[in-house]
Amino acid sequence: MKQEINRKLLFILHRGLVEARLLAQAKMHAQLFDLADAFEPIPAYMDNWQDSHLDAIRFNLKTYRSKHPNPSFDYLRYLDIDPTPPRFG
């Protein structure tokens, strides 16, 4: 796996955990379930990377965004457009 993709996915997981905490605080359990559903396969994909995994990740992120549009957590943008910050966490 390219280091750039790896860093983007780590940043996406980081932001996903931030959103998960906010959703839990707000008791938005259905959306939290959908977020976990979209993010759950990412570590396994990263551990055994194949180029086709990027399409599967995009599909899961698009599905989540279509159900829960939120410009503060635009995971597809983090993946495809925005540069990953040098430090996060």
Please write the tens of the pLDDT for every residue from 52-83. 999 999 999 999 999 999 889 999 999 999 89
Sorted by sequence, the CB contacts under 8 Å of residue 19 that are 6+ apart come out as 35, 70, 73
Euclidean distance between CA atoms 66 and 70, whole angstroms = 9
Angle at 83 between CA 69 and CA 72, to 5 degrees: 25
Model-level pTM greater than 0.85? yes
Please write the tens of the pLDDT for every residue from 1-52. 689 999 999 999 999 999 999 999 999 999 999 999 999 999 999 999 999 9
* Residue 5 confidence (pLDDT): 95
Euclidean distance between CA atoms 66 and 59, whole angstroms = 10
